[in-house]
Structure 1
């Protein structure tokens, strides 16, 4: 721990708490409470307060593009952070857009150790995805999931389903439900403590050809990672976040988000990207870009030095663009 930092923080937050901004959903609150617990363990005696903020995306049932994209998940929280109403903000990194800059004067000071990145198929009775009848309706709010599912099972129907995890699960399990299954992130159900209450099938993250008989689901950029954002000028809080930061996760996120930034994808771009560390300590980055129905895609996989994740992200993005990723991304804007 940095010498003197606990005293600085305890003095500053002795009478007023360190305010942690988050969305209002149950999952967002759980994640913010986890961050508050980590801070309290790191600086015993410090006061923290969770400050929930209703964001535009959680109120909007339609296409996020009509609200300006994924930035609708965070713009109200960004305003609270920049204006000093909160001291830090907690985000799921998969919801942080790659085509717009962070709020001026802010930065991510910490990425917590990555959680599970797998997507799962949740059904009412445990029917495997391969056994769902043709024409079955699958609920997912993700264009990335929809494109990959359609690539493997074009005979299934998909429909956008918005709302918090509990809201989506209720729509699946209702007696009059139209849905045969949902595709969700396993990490979200685990964090809420409800994973064991549902029938689910884990989808592999490794890419498989569509004729291999295996439905793959390459993760979203930032999947399974909680990021903590603060004002760059707030040196004590930024120092605290630096001590909470997980360096391997930070390297993976930098590789993935460098790729995403160079691709200039938007909220309707089916883009997947997943970085990891190999057994010999190198970085691995796999990237894919799809059209809307998964009938066309480009993919790239490269390895690089652990201390230069940005270069690896640039290489993968350049390869994807060389293969035609820009055409696929542009087409999804229509």
Structure 2
């Protein structure tokens, strides 16, 4: 039995320009999939958006999703759009909700923004890199210890304003995020994943629905991308098994090949970059979740548990 497509779908989202750009993509893809469908945006400001200090003080990445989850569960909206990298993987989604689709993946890489277009290697010693990401800070400590990281939070637009105000000499931001807000021209260097391993879920937008809302799930499931689902499932299981916290420099990305093979590289760092654990496996016949588990176990054998537990949070 085919369920009728709802006449109107209400989309709850953070109110930042980045989040609204992500919603616009979902709206466009829904319009292409279902002729005549109407969507409305229900904007919310999360505690993570309001807070300017360390995320650990708010309980980590969940600070960006808690209010969105509440609006969805309360029936104030029919679906939510998330950057997967902002959705905690060390615990399940809120009871009563499911991911109904993972959209085709965008660029997973990090990008350097420098006003004069310099690359990381060209930056003079002591240059201030604006970032509050423990993942980026640890990896820069490994590859470019002569640079200085300065805390910088806020959405991408706000960070670009802070750069212009001289609060840092350069920024590290997600390449996909800069593309979503039309700021690709600000990128001075795209960093290869070998130099800067991405966060779990990088470049993937997820659509979250109430699990009992079969009509909405059916309406949005056609937006799902099989490769994005396989890659994201492997990555999130990897992070779930490691049970990292918001101060844990953990990175990793899965890649689905055209022939169906799936690989996952995972890395765990100490905050100062002096300890680097690395594992890279191919799935073969393994399902994505099993691959994620296997890579996490390989890192645990190398001492990842001790590294993670030694980091204050």
Q: Same fold (TM over 0.5)?
A: yes
Deviation sequence 1:131-181 (CA, Å, 0-9, x none): 21211111112110111011111121111201111110111122xx14111
2:2 paired with 1:4: yes
Please tell me whether the aligned partners of residues 81 and 87 of structure 1 are also in contact (alpha carbons under 8 angstroms). yes
Q: 2: CA distance between counterparts of 1:316 and 1:85? A: 39
Normalising by the residue count of structure 2, what TM-score does the alignment of the two structures yield? 0.97
| Higher deviation after alignment, 248-257 or 304-313 | 304-313
Deviation sequence 1:240-262 (CA, Å, 0-9, x none): 22221111110000000000000
Q: 1: CA distance between counterparts of 2:136 and 2:191? A: 11
- SS of 1:205's partner is coil
In structure 2, relative to structure 1, the CA distance for the partners of 1:263 and 1:238 (3 Å cut) is same
Q: Which runs of 5+ in 1 are unaligned?
A: 207-215
* Aligned match of 1:126: 117
Q: Which runs of 5+ in 2 are unaligned?
A: none
Q: 1: CA distance between counterparts of 2:214 and 2:256? A: 31
Write the mapping of 1:271-282 to structure 2, written as runs, cut at 5 A: 271-282=250-261
Residue 129 of structure 1: how far off its partner (Å) = 1.1
Match of 2:271 among 292, 298, 309: 292
* Aligned match of 1:71: 62
- SS of 1:244's partner is coil
Please tell me whether the aligned partners of residues 97 and 266 of structure 1 are also in contact (alpha carbons under 8 angstroms). no
Number of residues of Structure 1 aligned to a counterpart in Structure 2: 313
* Aligned match of 1:40: 31
Q: 2: CA distance between counterparts of 1:85 and 1:306? A: 42
Please tell me whether the aligned partners of residues 220 and 274 of structure 1 are also in contact (alpha carbons under 8 angstroms). yes
Please tell me whether the aligned partners of residues 283 and 306 of structure 1 are also in contact (alpha carbons under 8 angstroms). no
Deviation sequence 1:224-245 (CA, Å, 0-9, x none): 0000000010011111222211
* Aligned match of 2:170: 181
Please tell me whether the aligned partners of residues 291 and 329 of structure 1 are also in contact (alpha carbons under 8 angstroms). yes
* Aligned match of 2:197: 218
Q: 2: CA distance between counterparts of 1:333 and 1:260? A: 18
2:75 paired with 1:96: no
Residue 307 of structure 1: how far off its partner (Å) = 6.5
Normalising by the residue count of structure 1, what TM-score does the alignment of the two structures yield? 0.91
2:191 paired with 1:200: no
Please tell me whether the aligned partners of residues 251 and 306 of structure 1 are also in contact (alpha carbons under 8 angstroms). no
